[in-house]
Chain A
Amino acid sequence: MISCASIWAIVLRHMYVWRRDVNALLFHVYWPILDILTWGYLGMWIQQSSQAAQFHNYEMVALLGIILWQFVGRGANIILASFTEELWSGNIVSLFSLPLRMVEWVCGVIIFYAIMTFFAILVSLTIIVLFYDVVMHEIFLNFLIFFPPLFLCGIWLGFTALQILSTLGKRGGEMGFVMIWLFLPFSGAYYPTDILPHWGQVMSRLLPMSYVFQGMRAYVMHQQDPTIYLIKGYVLSALYAVLGVAGFIYCFNRSKIKGLARLTD
């Protein structure tokens, strides 16, 4: 039976670090703020300089794109860092020789990811309200509609990157972080995927994020019904999230054939 105490222990284990490490906390707030200011003002400038229909409400689209990408990119980074933290602290054998099920660790990390990402989003929304002339409840409502599949995408990317780490150990750290950001250009977070070359569009069609961002753009800029995009986004992201977690558990268990101790080498 899954133990809630063990799940909460994993959440606390990471919260204790973040509570103390102001640098780490700033790191996850600083970049979203920088993105909001850079992309937000760029969006505002594009919107004000162009009367073309495709740039209608572009400021809102740019800001939403940034907030929603937090779930995918930075969220996956949080998941990856949770495992990397155990590797670098030499705690991997000690941790998994405790009566801790892998599914409990996974749940704990996902809860921690949710807490940290919501914290970053709260800060982002506050910055948006302070710096931009957008209607708060409108951006919040749009955010609520589109965030669930992207939350699942964060889980998918995070645990897919962990498959590399649980196979290669510390040596796979950089590769894991690189892999997460590899999908950004094909996700359509900041621009429509139609602009991509043919092979890029094919790739973007395989990514659940691209449907969500496409739906968001259609809804916010052109007031079109995003349901069909959202359904595709939900189904694909849920499927990928399950595959990502299952793949990680498989890789982790396979890693025990060579021993967890070697992961810290």
Chain B
Amino acid sequence: MSILKVQNLTKTFTSGWWPFVQSSYTAVKGISFHLNKGEILGLLGPNGAGKTTTIQMLLGTLTPTSGSISCFGQDFAQHRIEILQRIGYASGYDRLPARLTVAENLDVIGRIYTMSPAQRSEQIETLLKFFGVWEVRNNQTGTLSAGQTTRVMLAKAFLANPDVVLLDEPTASLDPDIAYEVRQFILAQRQQRGVALIITSHNMAEVTELCDRVLVLKQGSLIADSKPAELARSTAHVRLQLTITQNLEEALTCLRAARIIHAIKDNHITLEIDEVAIAPFLANLSAQGIIYSQISIDKPTLEDYFLRVAKEQRIL
């Protein structure tokens, strides 16, 4: 069941003041997507692709130029407050008031979500303990480390038991063990309460582990909407590593003749090759008397796909 629908969402920024508008730039170009109940959706793309702009529009802190957003069956523009009552948000780019303590900050936020005093204190204690920041609850937020701040922001996002959570770089600046705990928490929230999440991250392994579906943005356009594994598979090239024991020079001649991208270190060759071309290539090596002792084939990952997209964006 779809709980969030975005249709033809566009954001164009103009510089200068009317009537002296100097230039305009479209950060998000007519994207459409949906989010199902209990689904974890990844929002990927290189810097400047429009991820944060999209999140800001979903929160109502940035007005779209055109297009529509509906959530829980209601139009966002008309029912912003009712919808936000059921949405949690955390970003690595935002901060909480530095001079308030962690507990005070969460208490204020809980009140805005109209939580009862008992709900507030219970949730604050549970979440701060889970994220390992209960001991610093009476410290001013400005004195926390980057990792502690990120964990407090995550506690804020889940404070009011939201139905939808938007997380912009949720595990940035976290130690690997804490990042793992956070991922387990997110998966548990989805399983126990059917929470739906939209996550932006530069950690491809994390996205692959967490997300059911991934939207890929490139220069403001939606270029893919698929499962992480399918996106990885769409990268046709695999990484093949060979350890040549005999006739290394002939092997290199063979690679150059076939125009295959490769790197060499001692007698180890790493090359990128189309998956279907592996067998003929290896047969060709054998036919030319080239002997190899080790072979390993790395399947393409989401990171390979992302790198390809990022490279294309830079070229454009």
Question: A-side interface residues toward B, CB under 8 Å?
Answer: 3, 5-6, 8-10, 12-13, 16-17, 20-21, 85-86, 89-91, 93-94, 96-101, 253, 256-261
Contact = CB atoms under 8 A, between A and B. Distances in A.
Contacts, number: 100
B62 A97 contact: no
Contact of B95 (A89, A99, A257, A258): A89
A16 B85 CA distance: 24
Given A90-B95, A98-B113, A13 B108 contact: yes
Contacts of B63: 253, 256-257
Contacts of A258: 13, 62
Contacts of B53: 259
Contacts of A260: 56, 61-62
12 contacts: A16-B101, A89-B142, A90-B95, A93-B56, A93-B91, A94-B96, A98-B109, A99-B114, A101-B81, A256-B62, A259-B61, A260-B62
A99 B85 contact: yes
A-B pairs, top 10 by smallest CB distance, nearest first, are A9-B111, A90-B95, A97-B59, A99-B84, A259-B62, A94-B94, A99-B85, A260-B61, A89-B97, A256-B63
Given A3-B114, A261-B61, A261-B62, A98 B95 contact: no
Nearest to A254: B63
A17 B13 CA distance: 36
B98 interface: yes
Contacts of A96: 60-61
Interface residues of B, number: 36
A91 B85 CA distance: 18
Given A93-B59, A259-B61, A261-B61, A100 B112 contact: yes
Interface string B43-58: 0000000001100100
A152 to B, nearest CB: 27
A89 B98 contact: yes
B104 interface: yes
B97 A6 contact: no
B248 interface: no
Interface in B47-106: 52-53, 56, 59-63, 81-82, 84-85, 87, 89, 91, 93-101, 104
Of the candidates B56, B60, B96, B97, the one having the most CB atoms from chain A within 10 angstroms of its own CB is B97
Interface of chain B, helix or strand or loop or mixed?
mixed
A20 B139 CA distance: 12
Contacts of A100: 81, 112
B113 A86 contact: no
B61 A99 contact: no
A97 B60 contact: yes
Given A3-B114, A20-B99, A93-B93, 9 more contacts: A10-B108, A12-B107, A16-B108, A89-B142, A93-B56, A259-B62, A260-B56, A261-B61, A261-B62
Interface in B230-285: none
Contact of B97 (A85, A98, A101): A85
Nearest to B140: A20
Contacts of A10: 108
A5 B116 CA distance: 10
Contact of B96 (A9, A89, A253, A261): A89
Given A6-B111, A16-B104, A259-B56, A97 B61 contact: yes
Nearest to B116: A5
Interface string B124-144: 000000000000000010100
Nearest to B81: A99
Given A97-B89, A98-B109, A99-B112, A13 B100 contact: yes
A253 B113 CA distance: 21
A241 B113 CA distance: 29
A13 B108 CA distance: 6
Contact of A90 (B13, B94, B99): B94
Contact of A98 (B13, B84, B101): B84
A27 B233 CA distance: 64
B94 A93 contact: yes
Contact of A5 (B61, B89, B104, B114): B114
A86 B114 CA distance: 21
A97 B84 contact: yes
A174 to B, nearest CB: 20
Given A97-B84, A98-B112, A99-B85, A91 B96 contact: yes
B75 to A, nearest CB: 16
B191 to A, nearest CB: 26
Contacts of B100: 13, 16-17
Contacts of A8: 111
A85 B97 CA distance: 8
A10 B82 CA distance: 19
A169 to B, nearest CB: 13
Nearest to A19: B104
Interface string B297-316: 00000000000000000000
Contacts of A12: 104, 107-108, 111
Nearest to B101: A16
A228 B93 CA distance: 54
